[in-house]
Structure 1
């Protein structure tokens, strides 16, 4: 997802750490972070350890402008149709990336192959889809910014930071081609070490995506000082870890009515009837995994997979192997969901059916404006938070993902055309919301995983690699981690949460 037009965060003063600067928020080491590493830092920063660059400047992925983030004024009557066309844009990129990954031999023989056979045709498809978006908007009396037509063209990114191998299961993997059922689909043999993005599907992660957390300098900042009007309480809701494996690859917020709109698999806790075709009415009938049955909210995030060379049950399914998300899905051992207050003011209750997306599933190609990934290890959460690296945790320590959602609401809308501008982050130094926004309870999540320790081997391969699910062209980069939320409550729970926080109580 793309740029937040309301607020751009300030870059970190030092470039020595490409990880996030974070803010401790009380309770169990749960933190939220405002990270400021630039796209340049993400792609070119050098960390210690064994890293090898690709032997050639072979194209690694396709980068397309995010049309959705430019659509800030879509009439309600056009949003369903526009959502379908935006999903078509995602599907087109996925198809183009899969073609890129499966035609390495042709690319090696013809330097113009990628442009003529992949990127050029992709531009034509995108131009036609963008024009259908224009028609959908103008048909209901809306205005369309013709500058959006210029977003049809995509570019390519080279594999200048990828490493050879991706051998996580004892077998040499292919360079960019997908393996299914033991058969290699396209690509060159991994032994040639040319242009490989790593990972057992050939599109990440690579050795450069991992870092030994014990070798990263502390980067967590102090939290803002509380004002006399601060809301200091918290409300914890216990909703389980998705042990019942409630999964799908839909995203009802960004792609309603579109099967496999996310192109990656989500874990769901809370509301149990969330899919592409859910509505506010079905949310109220969905039942909940939460102990508090008045909490029907939908909490969902992309799964983590262990790339151990084995096939998951979705190896040939949408969102899984078809979208190059491979390996065994790991269920979190712990999932803490907590609402916290504002250091600057009291909070107002969340409105019913409020939608919030935090982080950016396309941050690798979009840049970091909306990225909000936090990776760490137990025992390190208050010292080190990473945004563009997966942590290698020491023995006895577990991988931790944390999320801190936008805590400011415009007071009017439960969603916006680009799913961004109706909410905002508070100022990281003061905790004050932007003008025109109200403080709401800040949703925070902490997910703990028992992940085999990755090992970067001498040949540049990664043993015991793990990665977050994502769009295939994002190469399973850690910076693409994100989380989704729809607030659905009954029995006055939204007001109870706000009152608990405002009164300084710690409720559950």
Structure 2
């Protein structure tokens, strides 16, 4: 990929300085007060008050990812209780942040609650099958200390710890979200000046060390495998707009169907206009769409907020300010939805209502096994970041790129952990044994971030707004004739929309 250059400009320098000020407990006090970081907006309305956990967070076993075999009849009850586990962690984090209880008492209470909920999960599975033997052992959580550079350094208690593994996509990641490419770990100017993880207007992130000047990152994108004879190199694009602010919600119908605020953070939606916790396949088919080609699929992702100290409409709501997601929500400048081929084979049609999640909303505490975040700047697309937010020069927009899993097991539209029915291609582009290639969804979202303003992705409160937690969700609701058109275009090497 040809490298493009930009004038450095004043944007990165000033933004790094402001991020540093936000992270400095005393030296940044004036800026924090001006931005109403933890005590209200400029008018002291109190609507912007949020949690502040200092340099600790809570790490619990991700039960949902470990339940690979749940009878279909038991899934609604299991999903409801998995959502309850998330709520318990969020409340425990809030309790810890408020400082009204000791860490030991918070952990003890959380373990008791989780034990009861895990018992309910086990009972639901036992009615249809057999619950995992180690289910009860997943009740034990840890306090996790955050290092000066924003990473994990220590855990208290002997609860289970999930080991990260290398991401299947290009192998660019190592355990705990650290990058193999040294260029991705370089902080912005003055990055080593921050004592701890005290940054961010919300008090629970982001920190100064979550940002990097894109000019300091070395090109690290590998060229994709070349299409072989018998491969498919066409593309199909759905133009679906950038999302209607009126449709935003903090639900997640894939992971927590029927549970309001199941995501604990706000989503933007494009495509299908009826996506909330209570939607079902019939709802999706009967809904309208923002896509100009009749694509009724639903595409949704966490919003990005400017850390500007201003109250958003959800400042007092769950999923918003009550859970540490604060600041002005940025409407994307653009969202490109493109389906691509496979270099080794033709693609087959996606089944209707196929559900795919890419990335991991809990990657900061889970490790990077399922992380798939990719941040950059326009003009610097050959430099992709997974565990840093980019500081872009003047005239360049922030980008998020999601390359979805594109190998399907040929049978299931979903799985108990929402992952096992899908896989990434092997390094040569071929699908693993037992999987077949479907159109590969690539979603690229761009933002014009206000000058000199830090930003962060929404997330679960205990994830500290880390960039590695970025993720994207998709449910295929294309009409059959449109899906067949997409497959024909991709397999014949055409570019269609």
Tell me if structure 1 keeps the 8 A contact 2:198–2:205: yes
Distance, in Å, in 1 between the alignment partners of 2:87 and 2:293 is: 38
User: Which residue is 2:141 aligned to?
Assistant: 154
Q: Are residue 478 (structure 1) and residue 432 (structure 2) matched? A: no
Distance, in Å, in 1 between the alignment partners of 2:428 and 2:482 is: 28
SS in 2 for 1:281: helix
Judged with a 3 Å threshold, the aligned counterparts in structure 2 of structure 1 residues 415 and 196 are, in CA distance, closer, same or farther, namely same
TM normalised by structure 2 equals 0.80
Which residue of 110, 122, 137 maps to 1:122?
110
| Offset of residue 246 of structure 1 | 1.7
Q: Are residue 358 (structure 1) and residue 347 (structure 2) matched? A: no
Q: Are residue 63 (structure 1) and residue 59 (structure 2) matched? A: yes
Distance, in Å, in 1 between the alignment partners of 2:353 and 2:278 is: 15
| Offset of residue 202 of structure 1 | 0.6
User: Which residue is 2:184 aligned to?
Assistant: none
5 Å matches for 1:285-300? 285-293=286-294, 295-300=295-300
| Offset of residue 422 of structure 1 | 0.1
Tell me if structure 1 keeps the 8 A contact 2:378–2:399: yes
- Deviation string, structure 1 residues 121-173 (Cα, Å, up to 9, x no partner): 11111111111100000012x1111112211111111132268xxxxxxxxxx
Judged with a 3 Å threshold, the aligned counterparts in structure 2 of structure 1 residues 310 and 100 are, in CA distance, closer, same or farther, namely same
Give the aligned CA root-mean-square deviation in angstroms.
2.1
Distance, in Å, in 2 between the alignment partners of 1:79 and 1:50 is: 45
5 Å matches for 1:34-433? 59-103=55-99, 113-115=102-104, 117-140=105-128, 142-161=129-148, 196-293=197-294, 295-381=295-381, 383-427=382-426, 429-433=427-431
- Deviation string, structure 1 residues 313-354 (Cα, Å, up to 9, x no partner): 110012111111000000101110000000111000000000
SS in 1 for 2:490: helix
Tell me if structure 2 keeps the 8 A contact 1:54–1:195: no
SS in 2 for 1:284: helix
| Offset of residue 53 of structure 1 | 9.2
| Offset of residue 101 of structure 1 | 1.1
SS in 1 for 2:134: helix
User: Which residue is 2:188 aligned to?
Assistant: none
Tell me if structure 1 keeps the 8 A contact 2:245–2:268: no
Distance, in Å, in 2 between the alignment partners of 1:223 and 1:134 is: 43
| Offset of residue 439 of structure 1 | 0.2
- Deviation string, structure 1 residues 439-462 (Cα, Å, up to 9, x no partner): 0000001111000244xxxxxxxx
- Deviation string, structure 1 residues 392-448 (Cα, Å, up to 9, x no partner): 001111100000100000000000000000000001x20010100000000001111
Distance, in Å, in 2 between the alignment partners of 1:329 and 1:358 is: 22
Distance, in Å, in 1 between the alignment partners of 2:463 and 2:262 is: 15
Tell me if structure 1 keeps the 8 A contact 2:353–2:476: yes
Distance, in Å, in 2 between the alignment partners of 1:244 and 1:341 is: 32
Distance, in Å, in 2 between the alignment partners of 1:453 and 1:60 is: 30
Judged with a 3 Å threshold, the aligned counterparts in structure 2 of structure 1 residues 318 and 58 are, in CA distance, closer, same or farther, namely closer
Structure 2 alignment gaps of length 5 or more: 5-18, 27-52, 151-193
SS in 2 for 1:379: coil
Tell me if structure 1 keeps the 8 A contact 2:217–2:383: yes
SS in 2 for 1:221: coil
Judged with a 3 Å threshold, the aligned counterparts in structure 2 of structure 1 residues 59 and 131 are, in CA distance, closer, same or farther, namely farther
How many residue pairs are counted as aligned between the two chains? Answer: 412
Tell me if structure 2 keeps the 8 A contact 1:67–1:86: yes
User: Which residue is 1:466 aligned to?
Assistant: 455
- Deviation string, structure 1 residues 35-79 (Cα, Å, up to 9, x no partner): xxxxxxxxxxxxxx9698999x96520011100011111111100
Q: Structure 1 stretches (4+) deviating beyond 4 angstroms? A: 49-55, 193-196
Distance, in Å, in 2 between the alignment partners of 1:227 and 1:303 is: 38
Distance, in Å, in 2 between the alignment partners of 1:310 and 1:244 is: 17
Distance, in Å, in 1 between the alignment partners of 2:411 and 2:97 is: 44
Distance, in Å, in 1 between the alignment partners of 2:361 and 2:60 is: 13
Distance, in Å, in 2 between the alignment partners of 1:157 and 1:335 is: 36
- Deviation string, structure 1 residues 346-392 (Cα, Å, up to 9, x no partner): 000000000000000000000000000000000000x2000000000
Structure 1 alignment gaps of length 5 or more: 1-23, 30-48, 108-112, 164-192, 455-463
| Offset of residue 225 of structure 1 | 2.3
User: Which residue is 1:498 aligned to?
Assistant: 487
- Deviation string, structure 1 residues 167-206 (Cα, Å, up to 9, x no partner): xxxxxxxxxxxxxxxxxxxxxxxxxx98653221210001
